Amino acid sequence: MSSWRHFIESRRFGELAPIPKAICYALLALWSTIVLFPLYWVFVTSFKEPVDVAYPPKFLPFIDFQPSLHAWRYIFVDLGNDTFRPYANSLIVASVSTLLAVLIGSMAAYALSRIEYKPKLGSVISFILLLAAAIIAVVYWQVDWRLAVVVAVVIFLLLLRALGRHFKRHLGNGDILFWIISQRILPPVVAAIPIYVMFQHVGLLDTHAALIITYTTINLPIVVWLMFDFFAAIPRDLEESAQLDGASRYRIFLGIVLPLAKPGLIAASLLVLILAWNEYLLALFLSTARAQTIPLLVAAQNATRGPQWWYMSVLIIIMIAPVLALTIFLQKYIAKGLLLGAVKG
């Protein structure tokens, strides 16, 4: 009578009984298959001849079809430089923009977590209004931009001097944080055309610089968002102790806070790197030949004759390989318990 209960109810709190356990593992296996199968498919397709790619699908090399290296040879040997250049571009643009975004973003997050900012609402509004006025003057009335900027700054300072005392309401760190994060809520593609025109004006289209600047700007809010919580979790005692010992703010930031925020830094870097590496739309707008990145190359395999899956598969594999390797390598650094032993036990 009670023997079947052993299969459904667990004996101890942290354990699963046999049948629930089997169901869990079955579901996990199913989901793993759904997630990993596309990777397997891409890998196998890169070794297929064009005729093998057509319907019906062929799953197993040496059994369903004979593998061949023609696609690999084409991508690496025949195209050679045409493959290497976008790959190098992706590497440069993604790593430099990630580095900049993480460096600047973590300093902003640290400042917001430690220092109390109280910008007056009146100052903020007057700044925005004067900026708008200056822009209108430059665009519609053809005022020289240097003159417009100087006049706007002078008016702003005079305004602050005269009315500053009356500006009572002020914003706080929470408002600044929200403002920074809200910039990422807007999809970057909405600003794609203005960004294009801007870079065209300064002659930076189709350069590394344009992509690096753009990616850094759109990913900065994400870094601030992630790192703020990590910095807020580091006990202030550590910094106060270092302060009493004579360390400067920068020394405290670089020598004590950053090492303790390592898990957060690595997580943020990885996320931003993946975003920059996979970014397609803005790269499409801002680059043509010289600064083309890998996602564009992959999409370009969609030739007039129809999608060339075999070439695409090779490109996809070399595209995801570095990110995959980096994630596996960095996983052990996202370790818990780094703060054990600093505070009370």
- Enumerate binding residues for another protein (CB under 8 A): 235, 237-238, 240-247, 251, 256, 259-260, 337-345
CB of 243 to another protein, least distance (A): 5
CB of 27 to another protein, least distance (A): 37
**What's the CA gap between 259 and 257, in Å, rounded?**
6
CB of 233 to another protein, least distance (A): 13
**What's the CA gap between 75 and 183, in Å, rounded?**
39
Residue among 64 and 237 whose Cβ is closer to another protein: 237
CB of 236 to another protein, least distance (A): 9
Contact present, 275 and 222 (Cβ < 8 Å): yes
Residue among 243 and 278 whose Cβ is closer to another protein: 243
Which amino acid belongs to residue 109? A
Using a 10 angstrom Cβ sphere, with 0-12 exposed, 13-18 middle and 19 or more buried, the burial of residue 98 is buried
Half-sphere exposure of 48 (CA within 13 A, CB side): 25
Q: How many CB atoms lie within 10 A of CB 11?
A: 7
**What's the CA gap between 22 and 27, in Å, rounded?**
9
Pure H helices in 54-207: 70-73, 81-114, 121-140, 145-163, 173-185, 192-201
Half-sphere exposure of 215 (CA within 13 A, CB side): 32
308 vs 36, 208, 280, 302, CA distance in Å?
22, 28, 19, 6
Enter the tokens of residue 265. Answer: 């830094």
Instruction: Please enumerate, as own/partner, the contacts of 178-182 that have beta carbons within 8 Å and a separation of 24 or more.
Output: 180/108, 180/220, 180/221, 180/224, 180/225, 181/221, 181/224, 181/225, 182/221
Residue among 161 and 344 whose Cβ is closer to another protein: 344
Give residue for tokens 């003057």.
Answer: 137
CB of 342 to another protein, least distance (A): 4
CB of 99 to another protein, least distance (A): 22
CB of 180 to another protein, least distance (A): 27
CB of 250 to another protein, least distance (A): 12
Beta-bridge partner residues of 61 = 65
Residue among 231 and 310 whose Cβ is closer to another protein: 231
CB of 281 to another protein, least distance (A): 40
Q: Which of 89, 122, 111 is nearest to 177 (CA)?
A: 111
Angle (CA) 338-261-334 rounded to 5° is 60
